[in-house]
Structure 1
Amino acid sequence: MNESYEQGELEEWMREILAKDAYTIHPSSAPYPAIRRRGLAERRRRVAVTGAVLAALAAVPVGAYAVNGGGGGRGADTAAPNPSVSAPHAPAAKPSSAPDDPARPATKGQLLDGITFEQAAQGLKACLRAESAPPGSARGLGKAKDYRIVLALKKTGDSNSAGDGINVVAVKEKPAGFRVVCTLEGGEASGISVSSSDAGPPDAGPVLPDVNGGKLYQQSFIDKGHWKLPFRWGVIGTVEPSVAKVTVSYGGSRATAVLDGPWFVAAGMLNRQVTLAPHIKGYDAAGKLVYDSDTDSTYQRTLP
């Protein structure tokens, strides 16, 4: 009897202990929603962009882009006719009729390879929409109507980004020298490069090539010596009002740039492998050489 009593008392004592310490055997579940919120906030913080940045974008459908091959443009290496000495800078383009569209380029010759203004405008809108991180997002970059398109040209794929497509260069006045290069592949936004004249040297001369504009005139360094040819190239940058003419030569191809407000843009077709970057020269209204990239210590004259 005493043995049964002691056994029952022991069982009751064990049940009491287990009831009190159950949480030590089965701990409370982790606060998953709070952890997830903290993780998302940290990820957004890490991908914040400032200054010159190449942002990776989510794919956003923007419709089909009919981009003609470079064959039709091989005979014309210039983006547009030479600017007049008496009026060296093309007037700022008027805004397009659609209230949310960017302004048009100063000349039709700045839209190359069969790309229409409507396609370029829709592509720019897609890139700005696709950049969704709060810092430097579409809200931070502004709306398409804040920009003017200055160049649109075919993009030739390489080992780093195999698909062909188009690049659209758009600029706005504030901050000074601010531009974006919107990249579209297969009709979808695939990337956006952001830069401004603040990224240039403090003692810049009258002509300032875009310090991050290499994506318009070079293929991936992985393909060094084995570029896909023919290759449509472009060069962009800013000029002071005293500059009346800018020329660009690249691998035997020569172009006279369009001066669109404070910007110069040039394009051509490359038919052979190169190791040197585009050679850029600037002249004043009297024809005097005022800038030569070969003597610019801040300009990278060789390709990576």
Structure 2
Amino acid sequence: MNGVDDQRDFGFEERMRELLAEDAHSVQPSPAPYPAIRRRGLAERRQRVAVTGAVLATLAAVPVGAYAVAGGNGARGADTAAPRPSVGAPRTPTAQASGTAGADTASGGQLLDGVTAEQAADGLEKCLAYDDAKPSGGLEKDYLGDAGDYRMLLAMRSTGDTNSPGDGIYVVAVKEKTDVRLICTIKGGEASGINVSSPDAGPTGLVVSDINGGKLYQQSFLDKGNWKLPFRWGVIGTVEPSVAKVTVSYGDGSATATLDHGWFVAAGILNRQVTVAPHIKGFDATGRLVYDSDTDETYERTLP
């Protein structure tokens, strides 16, 4: 009897396996909502100040909490004042953004606040040497190249805050043929930090603000409501050839950006506290609005 029972049990188990296999093949998972996942992924990607892996990010000597970005897209409200008339025009070597006090380099990069081309170049060299000298922690390091490999986009004063005390200068440069972008921080004549990113790691579009460019237009969230004023701000990002003009309004001022080899650069002076990020617009050659950061789901419209 035991032999018969064993055979019956074996047959029952075999049949159960067949039925389970048939059920497994008949179950079809619902398709993933790719558009929604992609939009959410892009928005979350822009919430990071330092992006690991996808973005080549090197943030040096920056304490925890620096330039943290709040989640969620805030609606633009009363914090955006009526912009002042902007000064300047794109694609010209002498274009000046509202509130600037400097000169453009031959490539269109803006040198502001009395920063000379020599000082900007020296700062870039120091930042590259600073990055090269940092310990790799046993990992292979990316060699960022020499200063001569880069085109200057912007040099301006930086304002110290509770998170990173001490004023200095920012130097923003792009590596030719690669679009690797550096934001270097110089304080006391020495490099104190460098941020590196690539547009390939972020969203694409007609106008895209730099994924880590917030360090140029905001002070630490620890100082929310108590920023040091007046405050020099800058906004950088990429732009498609079909875009002929980019404007940026921030707080109580506005600027027409300089367009420079696929990048836009705008700067101004902030004279009051803000809670809303810069408002960016792009126009084609006919003057038609083709981009508005207020309708861009990947753009963070609120500040920490």
TM-score by length of 1: 0.67
**1:236–1:266: 8 Å Cα contact kept in structure 2?**
yes
What is the identity percentage for the equivalent residue pairs of Structure 1 and Structure 2? 64
Larger relative contact order (CA 8 Å, sep ≥ 6):
2
Q: Structure 2 vs 1, CA of residues 302 and 229 (structure 1 numbering), >3 Å: closer, same or farther?
A: same
The Cα shift of 1:55 comes to 2.7
1:225 equivalent in structure 2:
225
Q: 1:113-132 maps to which residues of 2 (within 5 A)?
A: 113-131=113-131, 132=133
2:247 equivalent in structure 1:
247
For the pair shown, the structure with the greater C-alpha radius of gyration is: 1
Separation of aligned partners in 2, 1:184 and 1:136: 26
Separation of aligned partners in 2, 1:114 and 1:279: 26
2:163 equivalent in structure 1:
160
2:213 aligned with 1:210, yes or no? no
The Cα shift of 1:240 comes to 0.5
**2:151–2:176: 8 Å Cα contact kept in structure 1?**
no
Match of 2:88 among 63, 66, 81: 81
2:63 aligned with 1:56, yes or no? no
Q: 1:131-170 maps to which residues of 2 (within 5 A)?
A: 131=131, 132=133, 133-134=135-136, 140-170=143-173
Q: 1:264-279 maps to which residues of 2 (within 5 A)?
A: 264-279=264-279
The Cα shift of 1:222 comes to 0.6
Deviations 1:209-261 (A, max 9, x none): 10110000000011111111110000000100011000000001100000011
Deviations 1:111-139 (A, max 9, x none): 000000000000000000011245675x6
Separation of aligned partners in 2, 1:191 and 1:150: 18
Look up the SS of the partner of 2:196 in the other structure. Answer: strand
Separation of aligned partners in 1, 2:236 and 2:256: 12
The Cα shift of 1:173 comes to 3.2
Separation of aligned partners in 1, 2:206 and 2:198: 16
One-letter code aligned to 1:274:
V
Separation of aligned partners in 2, 1:105 and 1:159: 36
Separation of aligned partners in 2, 1:129 and 1:200: 27
One-letter code aligned to 1:241:
P
The Cα shift of 1:77 comes to 9.1
Give the alignment's Cα RMSD to 1 decimal.
2.4
Look up the SS of the partner of 1:170 in the other structure. Answer: strand
Separation of aligned partners in 2, 1:300 and 1:281: 14
Q: Gaps spanning 5+ residues in structure 1: where? A: 1-48, 59-75, 84-88, 92-103
Q: Structure 2 vs 1, CA of residues 194 and 77 (structure 1 numbering), >3 Å: closer, same or farther?
A: farther
Q: Structure 2 vs 1, CA of residues 270 and 222 (structure 1 numbering), >3 Å: closer, same or farther?
A: same
Separation of aligned partners in 1, 2:140 and 2:246: 32
1:200 equivalent in structure 2:
202
